[in-house]
Amino acid sequence: MPRLTARGIAFLVAAVGIGVLAYVFERPELLTIAAVAVAAPLIAFGMVASSRPRVRVSRQLEPVVATEGEPVQVRVTVSGRARAAEWIERVPMVPGFAGPGRLREVTASRPASIGYRYWPTHRGLLSVGPLLIEDRDPFALAVRVVDTRAMVAQLVLPQVTPLTPGPVPDPSSEAGPRTSRSRERADDDVVTREYRDGDALRRVHWRVTARQGELMVRNDEPQAGPHARLIVDSQSRGYHDARLARDSAATAGRTATSATFEWLVRMAASSAVHLAERGYSVELVTPTERVADAPIADGPVGDVLGELALVTLATASAELDERALSGSTPVVVLAGAPDDRTLRWMLAQRSSRAPAVALLAGPAEPARAASRRASGANPDDTLLDPDPVRTAFERAGWRVARVSITRSPDDAWLALMGGDTEPIAQWAVPAVVVNG
């Protein structure tokens, strides 16, 4: 619906005031001015109401699959019929929109094009759009905001940092590591076909889809080779900084957010790419359910990156299998402060012959230590084992390190090789000072 602008409302208020003055001071010539002041916004309102833009909007994104924090170039094509107007477009970055800008007149034979860049601030399957067109009269007395409603979904992957070869050994020659050529083939020579009803959306090849203009899905099977298991704790109770927050994209209430968890997701993405470069086929495991049809990104670990883009904090599954696995599959665990049940499940993921590393992020056990002090336990007992999770991994023969989320993923990865780590004292909860 069109509406009057602040200027248009001011004209009406002025018209009423001038009309009152005309009667008070008996100056009939002022009525002419009042009539003009009333007519101007009404004519502008009618003009805007009769010229609703009728447009079609299409978008091209480069890259089609984005990475958290990296720029995306958006090209918007507007066709149909519309007068010259201002525009803004909703995008998933602060402050929530791109623009404003000026859209030139659009005719059936002359579509208009808009270009801008945005930087995705978080991972996930995000929406770009809709485009909002502000149609105004020449004097800006009335305006109509037209929501074009057209949106496009974009997969935004966690940020990936190159890691230094270190704690996880390369697969042995008997295991048949994939060569660099086979890894290149997984990314560049993927066989695709047209989308058919019933195909899982997770198999859509986004880059080929953008190139050909229609949905294309992967038609190849994953190659066999040495495997590595990547375990990420996705339980909200495993992170002390998790908090309930309203997620505008969710339809079912609340989701938990955690800076530590987001850092570990980026660490998991970096680890998955690193392991794939070393020749491993990576399997992602979490204690909670994940999205069934997560989209697949490009590359040998595109399925893992797609799942990491959509993984969220939740409560644990009803049953966690704590039986030990056979074989020598390397295991990489990324967690914060898992509870005892989750810890036993993580330890069970590794066989006695397999290399295993655990990278712990965030505070060790501030909540548990505080509860023990509040219950009247001996204060010295809480200092006997300031990080029981780390101790459990070490006693099981794992290579383990606890790091701050302020460190880069590569520095944290090197900490697993025995590099410098922050002293436990830095992880203490800020003390409460009692005066008196």
Q: Where does residue 388 rank: exposed (0-12), middle (13-18), buried (19+ CB within 10 A)?
A: middle
Tens-digit pLDDT string for the chain (436 aa) = 789 999 999 999 999 999 999 999 888 889 999 999 999 999 999 998 888 888 999 999 999 999 998 999 999 999 999 888 899 999 988 888 888 899 998 988 899 999 999 999 899 999 998 999 998 888 889 999 999 998 999 999 999 999 998 888 887 633 434 444 344 444 444 567 676 665 666 667 767 776 666 777 766 544 456 889 999 999 888 888 775 443 433 444 445 678 999 999 999 999 999 999 988 999 999 998 888 778 888 888 999 999 999 998 887 665 776 665 566 789 999 999 898 889 999 998 888 778 899 999 987 654 444 444 444 445 444 455 678 899 999 999 999 999 999 999 999 999 998 754 444 333 333 333 333 3
Concatenate the DSSP letters of all residues of 53-87 into one string: -EEEEEEEEESSSEETTS-EEEEEEEEEEB-SEEE
What residues have CB less than 8 Å from 15, skipping those under 6 apart? Answer: 34, 35, 37, 38
* CATH entry 2.30.29 includes domain 54-156: no
Tokens of 230: 């990547």
In the chain, domain spans: 3-49, 54-156, 158-178+226-427, 180-222
| DSSP3 helix / strand / coil % (the chain, rounded to 5) | 30, 25, 40
Q: Decide: 85 and 133 in contact? Cβ < 8 Å.
A: yes
Nearest to 104, CA basis, from 129, 124, 77:
77
CA of 54: how far to CAs of 67, 75, 106, 133, 152, in Å? 34, 19, 9, 11, 19
Nearest to 286, CA basis, from 257, 264, 260:
264
Neighbours of 348 (CB within 10 A): 15
Dihedral in degrees, nearest 10, Cα atoms 187, 311, 126, 412: -70
Q: What CATH number should be reported for the domain whose range is 158-178+226-427?
A: 3.40.50
At residue 323, the pLDDT reads: 63
- Give the DSSP H/E element, type plus range, for residue 12: helix 6-24
Tokens of 265: 């997701």
Strand partners, 139: none
Cα(30)–Cα(118) distance, integer angstroms: 53
Pairing of strands 356-361, 399-403: parallel
Name the phi and psi angles at 220, rounded to 5. Answer: -110, 165
CA angle, 393 as apex, 392 and 395 as ends, to 5°?
65
Instruction: Tell me if residue 5 falls in helix, strand or coil.
Output: coil
